[in-house]
Amino acid sequence: MTRTFLTFSASISDDKTQTVEDKLDGFGNPVSQDIREALDGSSIHFMSVNVLPADADSGHGAFLVVETSQDGSKDDAIKDLAKRLNTPLRDILALAGHTIAENDLAKFIEDHSHDTGWGLLSTPGLNHSGTPGLTEKRIEREKKFGEKVREIVTGGEVTGSPLEILNDVKTRMQGLSEFQDLMSPEDVPFANSRRDASVPVAKLVVDGLKTFTWPYLIVLGICLLWVIIASFSAMGFWFAVGMAVLTLIAGVLVMIVIAGVLYSMLRTKERTDPAEDFSPDFDVLSAVMARENDGSVNHLYGISKMKPGKLRRLTLRFAFWFIAQMATHVFRPGFLGKIGTIHFARWILLPGTDKLLFFSNFGGSWESYLEDFITKASSGLTGVWSNTEHYPRTENLFFKGATDGDRFKRWARRQQKPTLFWYSAYPNSTTDLVRRNALIRYGLLKGSTESQAREWLSLLGSRRMPANALEADEIQSILFGGMGALNQASCLLIQLPDDPAAAKQWLRAVQPHVSFGDRPPHEKAALLAMTATGLSKLGLKDSQLASFPAVFRQGMDEPVRAEFVLKDTGDDKPDLWWWGHDGTHIDAAVIVYAEEAGLADAAKVQEDLIAAHNCKLIHKITSKPGPGKTGGLEKEAFGFADGISQPIIKGSRRSIDPDNAIHVVEPGEFILGYPDNRNYMPTSPILPASDDPKNILLSYKPEAEQDDWPDFAATETRSPRNFGRNGSYLVIRQLEQDVPAFHAFSEAAAKEINGRQGTPPGATEDDLQEWVEAKMVGRWKDGTSLVRHPFKPGGGTPDNDFLFGEDDPSGFRCPFGAHIRRANPRESLHPQDGEEELSITNRHRILRMGRQYDQAGAGNEAADNPGLLFMCLNGNLERQFEFVQQTWCMDRLFHGLDGEVDSVLGRGRKGGRLTIPTPEGPLIVSGMKDFVKVRGGSYFFMPGASAIRYLAE
The confidence band for 447, taking pLDDT boundaries of 50, 70 and 90, is confident
Q: 357: Cβ–Cβ under 8 A, 6 or more apart, which residues?
A: 52, 65, 301, 302, 303, 304, 347, 348, 349, 350
Q: Is 631 helix (H, G, I), strand (E, B) or coil?
A: coil
Confidence (pLDDT) at 292: 81
Residues 659 and 754 in one domain: no
Domain coverage including residue 675: 478-690+724-728+940-952
Burial bucket for residue 761 (CB in 10 Å: 0-12, 13-18, 19+): exposed
Number of domains in the chain: 3
Alpha-carbon distance of 50 to 348, in angstroms, equals 14
Residues 946 and 900 in one domain: no
Q: Answer whether residue 103 is part of any domain.
A: no
Confidence (pLDDT) at 712: 74
Contact 377, 386 (CB under 8 A): no
Q: Answer whether residue 395 is part of any domain.
A: no
Residues 811 and 931 in one domain: yes
Q: Answer whether residue 45 is part of any domain.
A: no
Q: Answer whether residue 614 is part of any domain.
A: yes
Statement: residue 468 has pLDDT above 70 = no
Higher pLDDT, 448 or 476: 476
Q: Is 227 helix (H, G, I), strand (E, B) or coil?
A: helix
Average pLDDT over residues 648-654: 72
Confidence (pLDDT) at 946: 93
Residue 575 CA: distances (Å) to CA of 391, 583, 588: 77, 11, 20
Statement: residue 861 has pLDDT above 80 = no
Q: Answer whether residue 59 is part of any domain.
A: no
Alpha-carbon distance of 687 to 538, in angstroms, equals 15
**Over the stretch 108-130, which tens digit does the pLDDT of each residue have?**
999 999 999 999 999 999 999 99
Q: Is 936 helix (H, G, I), strand (E, B) or coil?
A: strand
Written as one string, the DSSP assignment of 478-543 is: GGG---TTS-EEEEEEEE--S-HHHHHHHHHHHGGG--BSSSPPBSEEEEEEE-HHHHHHTT--HH
Confidence (pLDDT) at 705: 44
Q: 489: Cβ–Cβ under 8 A, 6 or more apart, which residues?
A: 483, 591, 592, 593, 594, 599, 622, 623, 851, 869
Q: What is the largest CA-CA distance in the chain?
A: 112
Higher pLDDT, 513 or 244: 513
Residues 671 and 745 in one domain: no
Alpha-carbon distance of 672 to 837, in angstroms, equals 24
Nearest to 62 by CA among 106, 18, 112, 105: 18
Residues 791 and 768 in one domain: yes
Nearest to 607 by CA among 493, 470, 745, 443: 493
The CA-to-CA distance between both ends of the chain, in Å, stands at: 46
Burial 856-875 (b: 16+ CB within 10 A, else e): ebbbeeebebbbbbbbbbbb
Residues 806 and 681 in one domain: no
Using the 3D structure, point to which of 272, 293, 311 is the last residue of a domain: 272
Residues 944 and 899 in one domain: no
Residues 826 and 888 in one domain: yes
What percent of the chain lies above the pLDDT cut of 70?
A: 93
**Over the stretch 23-66, which tens digit does the pLDDT of each residue have?**
999 898 888 999 999 999 899 999 999 999 999 999 999 999 99
Q: Answer whether residue 796 is part of any domain.
A: yes
Residues 812 and 889 in one domain: yes
Beta strands in 717-793 (DSSP E): 721-722, 728-737
Q: Answer whether residue 502 is part of any domain.
A: yes
Residues 787 and 890 in one domain: yes
Confidence (pLDDT) at 708: 61
The mean pLDDT value of the chain amounts to 88
Statement: residue 465 has pLDDT above 90 = no
Alpha-carbon distance of 728 to 476, in angstroms, equals 9
Residues 227 and 250 in one domain: yes
Contact 630, 643 (CB under 8 A): no
Average pLDDT over residues 210-220: 87
The confidence band for 704, taking pLDDT boundaries of 50, 70 and 90, is very low
Using the 3D structure, point to which of 272, 291, 322 is the last residue of a domain: 272
Residues 635 and 767 in one domain: no
Alpha-carbon distance of 343 to 355, in angstroms, equals 23
DSSP 36: H
Q: Answer whether residue 753 is part of any domain.
A: yes
**Over the stretch 522-570, which tens digit does the pLDDT of each residue have?**
889 999 999 999 999 999 999 999 999 999 999 999 999 999 999 999 8
Using the 3D structure, point to which of 272, 287, 312 is the last residue of a domain: 272
Q: Give how far the C-alpha of residue 84 lies from the chain's centroid of Cα atoms, to the nearest Å.
A: 46
